Amino acid sequence: MGSRNVMSRLLVLSSVGFGGYLTGSYLERRKLIRTADYVNTGKLEESFCSKPGLPIFGTVSAATPIPAEAQSSALVNVSRVGQIMKYGFPGLDNIRSYDDYVLSYDRRTRVAHWVFEHLTPATVKHNDAVDRAKSDFKPDESIHPFFRSLNTDYKGSGFDRGHLAAAGNHRMEQKHCDQTFYLTNMAPQVGVGFNRDKWNHLERYVRKLTKQYPNVYCCTGPLYLPRREDDGKLYVKYQVIGSNNVAVPTHFYKVVVMETTDGRLEMESYVLPNQKIDDGTPLTMYQVPPETVERAAGLLFFDKLARNKLSKINGKKV
């Protein structure tokens, strides 16, 4: 990435008030070599079962109980999870697996850490039988009531219930579309100029990638980025809404991996501020190094892929 390109990107980000963080972290930390992932790899290949005193299993669950007679569909769902998560889990906190996407829930902010989707030409294809107008926003009953966001939290807040996994990415069955309307998949987003505009453009852009790439893996989530205040110190500051104090993220990210027909892999990584964005600003201005998102989110994206094995990151040869 040329330094002019970095500078222009930073101008866009700093114009919305949070540039300092991304600048600082990118410039300071590009020297740090990505080392072995202690946390998310290595142990996964081992066959491993319950240890006394370590109830590690409560954290992963299907959001909907699987009835005994539906074993075959359960198997289908498990293998779909395997497809969606092919290149690794970004983190392992409070995982929920739905039929066509996977989510990690942050019980403190009441907003997901990340949602993970696998897009193909088939899953995003228009289907007359599927209509998002038939889907209702609904609380996710699999979340303990202390940490569950509700429709009333958003009411009168001025924020949209913004999808993280986009409804338009899940068109195979009405049920898939419906499941994107769980409030676990929502975050408070600025409506006009963001959710209904630039963020939507990014979603459509990712969906269109399936015209060129047979497999597109998309991880989406919130960020709570610090900014420097007048006293020279960095602060994280975000609003919370409703009686459940649902956090309003300062930014949202998407990290996308595209698989070509001949098995090459490319990555793109975006951070958009949760505010009105000028329609004329090209999406490429919001590209950031994936490492920057990882540090800010506390997550490791596509950690089964070595970054230097990717053929492109943000359109540039690696």
Name which of residues 164 to 223 contact its own copies (CB under 8 A): none
Which of residues 8, 11, 30, 56 is near its own copies by CB under 8 A? 56
Is 201 annotated as catalytic?
A: no
Q: Contacts with its own copies in 97-136 (CB under 8 A)?
A: 97, 106-109
CB closer to its own copies, 10 vs 247: 247
Q: Is position 195 annotated in a ligand binding site?
A: yes
Residue selected from 32, 68, 133, 192 as contacting its own copies according to rule CB under 8 A: 32
Q: Is 67 in the site for its own copies (CB under 8 A)?
A: no
Separation CA 119–CA 135 (nearest Å): 20
Q: Of these, 9, 12, 13, 21, which contacts its own copies (CB under 8 A)?
A: 21
From 163, 170, 176, 251, active-site residue: 163
CB atoms within 10 A of CB 33: 5
Asked if 235 is part of the footprint of its own copies (rule: CB under 8 A), the reply reads: yes
Distance CA 164, CA 142 (A): 18
Q: Measuring CA to CA, how many Å separate 17 from each of 151, 158, 235, 251?
A: 30, 21, 12, 11
Asked if residue 309 binds its own copies (CB under 8 A), the reply is: no
**Contact (CB, 8 A) for 239 and 286:** no
Q: Is the dihedral of CA 80, 81, 85, 88 positive or negative?
A: negative
Q: Which is nearer to its own copies, 88 or 162 (CB)?
A: 88
Return the residues of window 74-93 that contact its own copies according to CB under 8 A.
78-79, 81-85, 88-89, 91-93
**What's the rounded Cα separation, in Å, for the pair 177 and 173?**
7
Q: Tell me which residue of 72, 73, 146, 74 sits closest to 107, measured CA to CA.
A: 146
Residues 281-300 that bind its own copies (CB under 8 A): 291, 294-300
- Active-site residues, by number, are 163
